[in-house]
């Protein structure tokens, strides 16, 4: 059985060492990879919620439409992420999910997680950790949206993405691929597209970020972090100390 390439195993292994049996169990979740295209809807708001989804490649985001037509984007998913944890206790989707780019996903039913709970306490623990991390990301976004200026919001978000990407692929430090339109950015940060554009130009004038299409440059990470009150502690999760200390 070849699972050296499985994204979900790499993701889980980040938290705890997995036994061979754990890996087999995880692989069962990813038995049916599906190719999807940019713009594809993985599911709609209010649809029946009966499965999770693991993201093998490509980016995606979850969103909610309000009655007045505005859209709020809740989270951005990167390869390795698990989508749909929020609805575990619900029978309806609370948010839709859409692909940003082409990618590959694997759907598996809610019940598969219940089976996991019975079969492996290690995987259970990691699953809980992943859910807890997603909650931490949302918390930070909440604070960002509620209390910071447009410049700070944008700066903070860009640094968050930079840091998240670096955790999986430590690439060239100050460059960053950001395959999303300013409209998506606006819906993510609670701003108007126009103001996102204004803010980019302002940050550019101050030499804090430079944007060229989907290519982003951050000449001075420290400076931008100061600007956006960015502190990465909410991204640094660490289960091992907990589990080890339990002996």
Partner DNA sequence: GAATCGACATAACCTGGGTTATGCGGAGCA
Partner DNA sequence: TGCTCCGCATAACCCAGGTTATGTCGATTC
Using rule CB under 8 A, residue 238 touches a copy of itself: yes
From candidates 2, 5, 32, 118, binder to a copy of itself by CB under 8 A: 118
- What element of type H or E holds 41? strand 41-43
Using rule CB under 8 A, residue 19 touches a copy of itself: no
With left for phi above 0 and alpha for psi between -120 and 50, is residue 222 left, alpha or beta? alpha
Query: Using N-to-C axis directions, what is the helix angle for 182-189 and 193-205, rounded to 10°?
Result: 100
Number of residues that bind a copy of itself (CB under 8 A): 61
Cβ neighbours of residue 206 under 8 Å, at least 6 residues apart?
A: none
Residue closer to DNA (CB basis): 78 or 150:
150
Number of residues that bind DNA (CB under 7 A): 16
154, two tokens: 């944008």
Contact of residue 38 among DNA, a copy of itself, none (CB under 5-8 Å per partner type): none
From candidates 40, 195, 232, 235, binder to DNA by CB under 7 A: 195
Using rule CB under 8 A, residue 143 touches a copy of itself: yes
Contact of residue 245 among a copy of itself, DNA, none (CB under 5-8 Å per partner type): a copy of itself
Whose structure tokens read 């690439």? 171
Spatial CA neighbour of 141 closest among 211, 205, 190, 107: 190
**Interface residues with DNA (CB under 7 A)?**
149-151, 181-183, 190-192, 194-195, 197-198, 200-201, 211
């Amino acid at each position: 059985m070849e699972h050296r390439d499985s994204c979900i195993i790499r993701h889980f292994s980040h938290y705890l060492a997995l036994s061979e049996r754990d890996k087999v169990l995880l692989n069962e979740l990813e038995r049916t990879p599906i190719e999807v295209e940019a713009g594809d809807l993985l599911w709609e708001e209010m649809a029946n919620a009966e499965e999770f989804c693991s993201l093998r490649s490509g980016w995606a985001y979850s969103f909610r439409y309000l009655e007045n037509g505005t859209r709020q984007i809740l989270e951005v998913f990167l390869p390795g992420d698990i989508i749909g944890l929020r609805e575990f206790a619900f029978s309806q989707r609370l948010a839709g999910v859409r692909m940003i780019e082409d990618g590959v996903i694997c759907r598996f039913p809610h019940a598969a997680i219940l089976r996991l709970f019975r079969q492996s306490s290690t995987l259970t623990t990691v699953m809980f950790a992943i859910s807890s991390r997603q909650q931490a990301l949302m918390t930070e976004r909440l604070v960002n949206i509620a209390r910071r200026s447009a410049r700070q919001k944008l700066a903070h978000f860009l640094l968050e993405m930079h840091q998240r990407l670096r955790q999986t692929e430590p690439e060239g430090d100050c460059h960053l691929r950001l395959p999303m339109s300013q409209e998506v950015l606006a819906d993510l940060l609670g701003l108007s597209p126009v103001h996102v554009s204004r803010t980019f130009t302002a940050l550019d004038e101050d030499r804090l970020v430079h944007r060229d299409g989907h290519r982003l440059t951050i000449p001075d990470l420290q400076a931008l972090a100061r600007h956006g009150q960015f502190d990465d502690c909410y991204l640094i999760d660490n289960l091992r100390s907990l589990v080890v200390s339990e002996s």
